Amino acid sequence: STLRFVTTNAGKVREAEEYLAGLRSVEQFDYDYTEVQSDDLATIAAEGAAEAYEASEGDAPVIVDDAGLFVRDLDGFPGPYSAYVEDTLGVERVWELAEDLDDRRAAFRCVVAYTDGETTETFDGAVQGTIVAPRGDGGFGYDPIFEHDGATFAEMETDRKNALSHRGRALAKLADWLADGDT
Ligand code: ITT
Ligand code: NA
C-alpha cells in the first residue's frame, strides 16, 4: 500500500522511499500545509498531517515531517525557523554565525506525523553533530554544514545518512509501528 508524504521537499521523499522500501511505497503530495506557530515540532507535524489528509483524496494515509537544526550555543537557533532561515540568510551564513562559537555542537531533530483519518501517531528522532564549514554535495538543506563522525551529511550516501539521521530514526519508529499493525 501507499503512503503520501506531504512535503515540498523532494529530498525528504527520497530518504523515506529508501527507508520504507518493501514495507510501503511512498509518493510525494506536494502540498504546503499551514505551519502553526509553535516551537513544538510534534504539534506542527500532527496539525499539518490532519490538514493535508483533509485536502487529499482521503484514500491513503499521509505523513508529514517537521524538522530543524538546533545550534546549542545559539539558543537552539534556527530550530523551528530552519526553513525560513535557509530561504533568507542561507546555509553559508548560518555557518558564519556558528564559526565564532567556541562550542559548535548542534542537533537535527525531526518529528514524523502519520494519520489515516482515524489514527494519528507521531514519531521523533534526533542526531548530534557539529557545525562545520560547508563540505559535500549530497543531501539537502543544512547537510553540508552538519558533521557527524568525521563526515558531513552531504558527504554521505543516502543509506548511510538514513542509518544515523534524525529522519532515519523517526522513520525506523514509524516502520516498526506499521509492521506491527500489519501482523
Ligand atoms: P516541507 O515543510 O514542505 O516538508 P521544508 O524543507 O520546509 O519542507 P521543514 O520545515 O521540516 O521542511 O524543514 C526545515 C528546514 O530544515 C529546511 O530548511 C530543510 O532544508 C532543513 N532540513 C530538514 N531536514 C534536513 C536534513 O535531513 N538535512 C538538512 N537539512 C534539513
Ligand atoms: Na516547511
For CA atoms 70, 157, 112, 5, give the dihedral sign. Answer: positive
- The residue written with cell numbers 563540505 in the block is 135
123 has a pLDDT exceeding 90: yes
| Mean pLDDT on 39-49 | 91
Q: Extract the C-alpha cell encoding 35.
A: 505551519
**Burial of 86 by CB count in 10 Å (0-12 exposed, 13-18 middle, 19+ buried)?**
middle
Phi-psi region of 76 (alpha: psi -120 to 50; beta: other; left: phi over 0): left
pTM score: 0.94
CA of 66 to the centre of ligand 2 (A): 7
Identify the residue whose C-alpha is closest to ligand 1 atom 15. 83
Phi-psi region of 168 (alpha: psi -120 to 50; beta: other; left: phi over 0): alpha
Banded model confidence at residue 182, pLDDT cuts 50, 70, 90: confident
Banded model confidence at residue 183, pLDDT cuts 50, 70, 90: low
CA of 63 to the centre of ligand 1 (A): 14
Is residue 66 annotated as a catalytic residue, yes or no?
A: yes
81 has a pLDDT exceeding 70: yes
CA of 92 to the centre of ligand 2 (A): 19
| Mean pLDDT on 117-125 | 96
Banded model confidence at residue 161, pLDDT cuts 50, 70, 90: very high
Q: In whole angstroms, give the CA distance from residue 2 to residue 177.
A: 15
Q: Which ligand is nearest to the CA of 110?
A: 1
Determine whether the shortest distance from the Cβ of 74 to ligand 1 is under 6 A: no
Whole-number average pLDDT of the chain: 95
The angle formed by the CA atoms of residues 44, 46 and 47, to the nearest 5 degrees, is 65
Closest ligand 1 atom to the C-alpha of 64?
4
- The residue written with cell numbers 522500501 in the block is 21
CB 6 within 8 A of CB 49: yes
Q: What is the ipTM of this complex?
A: 0.97
Determine whether the shortest distance from the Cβ of 168 to ligand 1 is under 6 A: no
Task: Quote the percentage of the chain above a pLDDT of 90.
Answer: 90
Closest ligand 1 atom to the C-alpha of 143?
29
| Mean pLDDT on 26-30 | 95
Determine whether the shortest distance from the Cβ of 78 to ligand 1 is under 6 A: no
Q: Which of 66, 116, 124, 143 is catalytic?
A: 66
Q: In whole angstroms, give the CA distance from residue 142 to residue 107.
A: 11
The reported pLDDT for the residue numbered 139 is 95
Domains of the chain and CATH, by start: 2-182 (3.90.950.10)
| Residue pLDDT, tens place only, 93-103 | 999 999 999 99
